[in-house]
Structure 1
Amino acid sequence: MPVPKRVVIVGGSLAGLFHGLYLKRHGSRVVVIEQDPGSVRSSHQAGIAFGPAVEEILRQYDDTGMQSCTPAVGTRIAYRRRQNVKEINVVRHLTSWGLLYRILRANFDGLASEAVPNPPPPRDGDGPAEYRSGQRVTSLRLDQTGAVTVGFIDPAGVEGSVTADLVIGADGVHSTVRDLVHAPATGVEYSGYVAWRGTVCESALPPEVAAYFAPRTSLNFLRDTYIVTYAIPPSTGTFTPGTRLINWVWYLNIPPSSPSLIATLTDTTGHVHANTVPSHLTNTTIFHHHLAEHLPSMPPPFATLLSSTPHPFVTKINDARTDAAVFLDGRVVLVGDSLAAFRPHFAVATEQAARHCLGLGRVWDGEGGATLEGWEREAVGYGERMWLASRLLGAFGLGRWGEFWGLLGRWVVGFVRGLVRGY
C-alpha cells in the first residue's frame, strides 16, 4: 500500500503532527485542519511522558537538534504524610506538551517560536505542508474515484472543502471525524473525577522541595485521592535546573451531575465549561477549599508545591474508544485519542499516537507484509487494553474498590485475548 499522495489530517495537536511530519517526509501533500482559532495551540503548561515510539519519530524526522525531554531517574511513592515509602525503577521521558508541539510544528510547517527561533529548512523530497487554524470540519464524502472531500467552515462562517486520498482523524476524545463516520464507540464517558493541575518554577520553591521533586516522578497516595508530580521544561525549551517547572496533577472524586461538579467547571465569569477551565479563568476558591481539607494528610513537599501554585486549572476526566479504526474503504482512519482516549494515569496518550503513526508507516512501506487490517487489529486491541488499564489505576488511586475489582477481571480477559491474537 503506497504512501498516499494527498492527505488531510483533522486535528492539529501532537497526534496530527506526528502523522503530518511522517507523511511530509515521505513526499505527501499534507493539510492539517485545526478548529482552534489560534495560530499556536495553548498548552496550559501541561506535562507529558513519552516512550520509544515518540523517540523513534524524533530520531528519524526531527531536524531542529533540540533536546526534547528530560529522563527521570525513577519513581518515588509517598503514602499519606510519609514522603519516601518506596522507590521503583520506572523511568519515563518527561517533557511539556508545549515544547514537543513547537518542535513538531517547526519541522512540519516551519513555525518559529522562542523554543525554535530558526526552524530547519525542508529536506529534499519533502512534500508541501500546511497548517490551517480556525477551520471546523463539517462533512466527509467519498466519491467514485476513491477520493474523500472534507467540508469545513472557517471563523467567518464561510464554507470550503479540500480533497484527499486519505483523511486521518486525529481530533481527540470529542472527535468530529469519529462522529461523521459513525464509528461504533462506547461513547465519551465522565470518569467520576477531575484533575486539578498546575506548575511551579523550581526557583520559586525552597531548595529542598525542588530537590525532592526534580529528578524523579513522585506519587502521593492519600485517602481516596492521589497526586502525581514530575519536572518538565517550559514551552521555551530550557532544561537548566532552576528554570524547569514542577508539574503536578491531583485527582479528586466528584460525582456526575452534582452541584460540586458544576461549580468546579464554572469559571470566574459564570460560564460552565464542558471539560477544561483555563487557568486564567479558574475559580481558585474551590481549589483552595480542597487543598485546606487535604493539607494535613500530605507530606511537606507536596503541601508546599500545591500551596505555591499561582494558577491551577481543572479538567474533567473523560474517556472514549471505538472498536474500529478504518472507514470508507480505507480512506479514513482514526488515530490517537480519536480511536482510544485513556484516563491519563499511565501517561501513554502521546506514545499511543506515535505507535499509530509508525504502524501506518509499516503499512505504507509494505514492511513485513503489514496490512491496514492488521494495523487496525493491533491498534484497537492496544486501545482496549490501555483503556481498561487506565481505568483500573484510576479506581485504585481514588479508592473506588468495587469498580477496581470489576475492571481487573475485564483487563485480565482482554490481556489474554491479546496474547491469543498475537498483539
Structure 2
Amino acid sequence: MLAVTTVPDIESVGIVGGSLGGLFQAVALAELGLDVTVWERSAGRPDDRGAGIVLQPSVAWFLRMFCGVDPDRISVPVTHRQFFSLDGKSHHTLMRQRMISWGAIYTSLRDRLDPARYHEGAQVTALVPRPEGVDVQVGGAVRSVDLAIIADGSASRHRRLVAPEGAPRYAGYVAYRGVIDEADLSQELSEVFRDRFSFYDGDRTQFLSYFIPGDLGTTAPGRRRMNWVWYVRADAAGLERITTDRNGTVHGLSLPPGLIAPQVHAELLDRARALLPGPMRELVEHTREPFAQAILDGHVSRMRAGRMLLTGDAAFVVRPHTAASVEKAAADAIALFTALLQVPSLDGALRAWEKNRLAEGTALHRHGIGLGDRLGLSSSEATQAAAAGPAA
C-alpha cells in the first residue's frame, strides 16, 4: 500500500458510476485520505461472464500497490501467440503475457474499498456545478462535493456536461463473445489453446481466444474458463437484428448472455462452420450463451469542466483491439492520484491531469481505428467519421 499525505484544497469526491473506471478512482483517491462516495445505478455485483482482459502494466501496478493483490495470482499466463489458417494449421511466436477476467479486477477493487463508500441502486439524476465544487443530486437528496468524477461508461448520461460533442459512434462491426468452462472442453481441444493467445485473421473478420480465471478467480488448469471474441461486420440493420433478444426486446448496442434469438444463434453457428478454423469453430459450438456488443468509437476534446472530470469510457471509447480500455481507466486514476500529490493547487493538478490523459486517450483512439481498418472491419462511414473527429 502507499503512504501519502493530505491533499490541499479538496476533501470530498463524488464518483458517478461504480464499474471499473469509477472503482479505480475511488480506491486511489481514498488512499489520499479523501472522503470518497461512489454512486452506482445498478444493484448487485455484475456478472463477469465473457469479460476476458489482457493484463496491462498500469492495471497490474494498481492491483499490487493500491489493493495489495499479487496480479500473477489472479491471472493466467500465456507463453506464445498462436496464429491459425483456415485449414486449422497454426504457427507460434514467443510472446509472454497474462490474461485476467473483468470479475477478478472488480472483486479486488471492491474488496479494497470501504463498503460504506459504495452505494448500489443509486442513480445520479443531476450534476450542478458551483464555483468550488459540484452538487450531486441522487433521487431527492443533494450532496455537495469538491470534485465530481463522471465514470458512467460509454453510454454516459453526464458526459455532455463536460464534452457535449463526445457521444460514441458505431464503427460498423460487432464482437460476438463467449465463455466456456475448461472442464466442458475435451482434453484435446484444451491442449490446442494451452498457454496460447490464439488468433485467426480472415476476410474482414478476426477471432481470438485465451484462458482466463474461472469461478471465484481460480487459475488452476482444468478450472479456468476459455474466453473468445469474434469480430464480424454488421450494418445498422444487422446490429439491430443481432441485439434483438429472443423475446423481441431491442437492446441497441449489446446483447446480454442468455438472450440470443434462436435464428441469430443458428446463423452464428452456420457462419462459424463456414468461416472459422476447426478449433475455433468448436469453441463457438461449445458456447451455450454467446452474447454480443457493438464496437464504438468515442473521442472527446476535453475531460474537465471546472470541478467535473470524465474518466474511463465516459471519456474515450477505444476499440478492443488495443487491449487498453481497462488499462486506460487505471492510468486515469494513477495520473490523478499523482497530480494531486505533486501539483500545489487543485486547479493546477486538474489541468495537468487533463493534458496528460487527453494526449493518451487521443493516441489510443486513433490506434484502435487503425487496427480496425487494417483488419478490414470498419465501415467506410465509420472511418470517415472518426477521421473528422468528435460528433457535433
> Same fold by TM (over 0.5)?
yes
Q: Which residue of 2 aligns with 1:139?
A: 126
Q: In the alignment, is residue 212 of structure 1 matched against residue 212 of structure 2?
A: no
2:371 to 376, 393, 399: 393
Distance 1:79 1:381, change over 3 A: farther
Distance 2:95 2:69 in 1: 28
Q: Which residue of 2 aligns with 1:121?
A: none
- Aligned positions of 1:186-335 closer than 5 A: 186-256=166-236, 259-328=237-306, 331-335=307-311
Question: What amino acid is aligned across from residue 173 of structure 1 in structure 2?
Answer: S
SS in 1 for 2:46: coil
Q: In the alignment, is residue 18 of structure 1 matched against residue 24 of structure 2?
A: yes
SS in 1 for 2:117: strand
Q: Deviations over 1:123-173 (max 9, x none)?
A: xxxxxx5111122222112234x12111123xxxxx222211111111111
Q: Which residue of 1 aligns with 2:316?
A: 340
Distance 2:271 2:163 in 1: 43
Query: Cα distance, 1:178 vs. partner?
Result: 1.0
Distance 1:407 1:160, change over 3 A: closer
Identity %: 29
Distance 1:381 1:65 in 2: 30
- Aligned positions of 1:82-97 closer than 5 A: 82-85=88-91, 87-97=92-102
Distance 1:28 1:175, change over 3 A: same
2:149 to 160, 168, 174: 168
Q: Deviations over 1:271-317 (max 9, x none)?
A: 10022221121214313313313424422211111111111111122
Q: Deviations over 1:389-409 (max 9, x none)?
A: 112212222455968997999
Note if contact 1:98-1:234 (Cα within 8 Å) is conserved in structure 2. Answer: no
Distance 2:192 2:170 in 1: 33
Query: Cα distance, 1:184 vs. partner?
Result: 4.5
1:360 to 307, 326, 336: 336
Between 39-48 and 53-62, the greater mean CA deviation after superposition:
39-48
Between 91-100 and 354-363, the greater mean CA deviation after superposition:
91-100
Note if contact 2:232-2:377 (Cα within 8 Å) is conserved in structure 1. Answer: no
Query: Cα distance, 1:9 vs. partner?
Result: 0.7
2:74 to 68, 72, 79: 68
Distance 1:164 1:402, change over 3 A: closer
Q: Deviations over 1:213-269 (max 9, x none)?
A: 23121111122211111110125111110110010011111112xx43222111111
TM-score of the superposition, structure 2-length normalised?
A: 0.89
Q: In the alignment, is residue 152 of structure 1 matched against residue 138 of structure 2?
A: yes
Note if contact 2:206-2:231 (Cα within 8 Å) is conserved in structure 1. Answer: yes
Note if contact 1:252-1:398 (Cα within 8 Å) is conserved in structure 2. Answer: no
Distance 1:409 1:324, change over 3 A: closer
Query: For structure 1, which runs of at least 5 residues remain unmatched after alignment?
Result: 111-128, 154-158, 412-423
RMSD between aligned alpha carbons? 2.6
Distance 1:367 1:142 in 2: 23
SS in 2 for 1:341: coil
Q: Which residue of 2 aligns with 1:8?
A: 14
SS in 1 for 2:152: coil
Q: In the alignment, is residue 29 of structure 1 matched against residue 7 of structure 2?
A: no
Distance 1:327 1:53 in 2: 26
Q: Which residue of 1 aligns with 2:112?
A: 107
SS in 2 for 1:321: coil
SS in 2 for 1:315: strand
Distance 1:105 1:382 in 2: 26
Distance 1:387 1:90, change over 3 A: farther
Query: Cα distance, 1:348 vs. partner?
Result: 0.5
* Matched length: 380
